[in-house]
Amino acid sequence: MESLVCTGCRREVDGRLWQARCPECGEPLEVTAPPGGTVRDGAPLLERFANFLPARSLGLHDPAAVLTLGEGNTPLLPLETIGKRIGLPRLLVKVEGANPTGSFKDRGSVAGVQRARALGFRAVGTVSTGNMASSMAAYAARAGMRGVVLVSATIPRAKLAPIAAYNPLLIGVEGDYGRLYHLSLELGPKLGVAFVNSDDPYRVEGQKTLALELWQQLRRQVPDAVVVPVSSGGHMAALLKGFRELYALGHIERLPRLIGVPAAGCGPIAAAYRLGSTVPVPWAEVRTIAKAIANPSPPSGRRLLQAARSGAPLHFLSVTDDEIMAAYWQLSQEEGIFAQPDAAAAVAAAHKLAESGVLRPDETVVAILTGHGTKDLTPLESNAPVRLRTCSLDELPGVLESAL
Ligand SMILES: [Zn+2]
């Protein structure tokens, strides 16, 4: 069985138990690097990259027992119009909204639920108000397991529907949301619920497949830079882990630069990075439209900041709501790609980085579009460019003729 190691103190932990964080120092645990080998094209995500994943812990030896809803293999598309205008002609987007439940979270959920099932759990849970909640509820249903979703009691009803559709046990909890994360990890093992939160070691293994898939889609090359929305820090840590393992295996000759993008209205990791600190700056008041990239107490913040200090090519840049919304409309209206505002933040950041010369015109840059636009219709409802003309059948020919 593969073992787990602490990302903080490097202490080794028994990988047969369900635990997400180090019992000594409290930092996230991670799976030690698997041996690596070939990619199995055409197979479901976990099988396709089984040689790069903890295959034994995940129980991938039996293809019939491999969980899938068809996650991964998302499009990698050039942004020709936007790229040319902002001076990045080789700007690409990875459309993670094309995953089964509309977000990048499905890669991590499939791995986390697969691991929980391999360990004999009958229930899986998560603490989330958005993409991760619906993703976990879907994979729990697929695996025939009970789904448990803990949300903030103040969650808007519109956000509940895409979670409730899968019929998990859905509980709104009053009180501090950051503490709820830690409480879930305490309660889970006692109650027989495997909580697969944002930076669970096996979720990170699943999210890591995004780095592997980029390498595969770019014909065994990596881009010069990857721009990724950042919230808890788990996704960015997973990308770094994936690229580092490819490097360690000799598949690539350099690591891409990773640029994490939080909303300016809540950026504890970016603020600490600017100060040269390895401790996320506590954030009192969250003010942004991009709620999915606004975690006031990011559980993987310290891990990323420590990696940056010890030489990993990580950078952070906040974007304002105005910058996010400009990129949001450009993506849908100029490129035909409908992404949620939190995802458009990556393109907004690429624009700023091109202006400041951090990203250069000759570089291949991939912006990760983490979620599909239908996941959050707030911008359309509150600020709608929806123009509906009405006319009679008799008037229609004339209306069309004058408009076209
Ligand atoms: Zn530790």
pLDDT of residue 378: 80
**Band (387; pLDDT cuts 50, 70, 90):** confident
Centre of ligand 1 to C-alpha 221, Å, is: 34
Clarify whether residues 335 and 375 are in a common domain. Answer: yes
Reported as a single tens digit per residue, the pLDDT across 64-74 is 899 999 999 99
Clarify whether residues 60 and 125 are in a common domain. Answer: yes
Least confident of 151-155, 167-171, 265-269: 151-155
pLDDT of residue 384: 60
* Amino acid letter, 200: D
Number of structural domains, the chain? 2
For residue 168, the enclosing domain spans 4-67+104-195
**Band (2; pLDDT cuts 50, 70, 90):** confident
Centre of ligand 1 to C-alpha 5, Å, is: 8
pLDDT of residue 27: 93
Centre of ligand 1 to C-alpha 310, Å, is: 17
pLDDT of residue 1: 61
Least confident of 147-161, 224-238, 241-255: 147-161
Return the structure tokens found at 367: 């912006």
Whether 316 maps to a domain, the answer reads yes
Residue 297 pLDDT exceeds 90 = no
CATH of the domain at 53: 3.40.50.1100
Clarify whether residues 148 and 118 are in a common domain. Answer: yes
Spell out the SS3 assignment of 5-74: EECCCCCEECCCCCCCECCCCCCEEEECCCCCCCCCCCCCHHHHCHHHCCHHHHCCCCHHHCCCCCCCCC
Q: In what order do the strands lie in the sheet with 146-152?
A: 169-173, 146-152, 123-127, 193-195
Centre of ligand 1 to C-alpha 29, Å, is: 8
Residue 40 pLDDT exceeds 90 = yes
Reported as a single tens digit per residue, the pLDDT across 9-27 is 999 998 888 999 999 999 9
**Torsional sign, CA 292, 297, 303, 305:** positive
pLDDT of residue 121: 96
Clarify whether residues 145 and 265 are in a common domain. Answer: no
Centre of ligand 1 to C-alpha 27, Å, is: 6
pTM beyond 0.85: yes
pLDDT of residue 190: 94
CB 162 within 8 A of CB 136: no
Whether 396 maps to a domain, the answer reads no
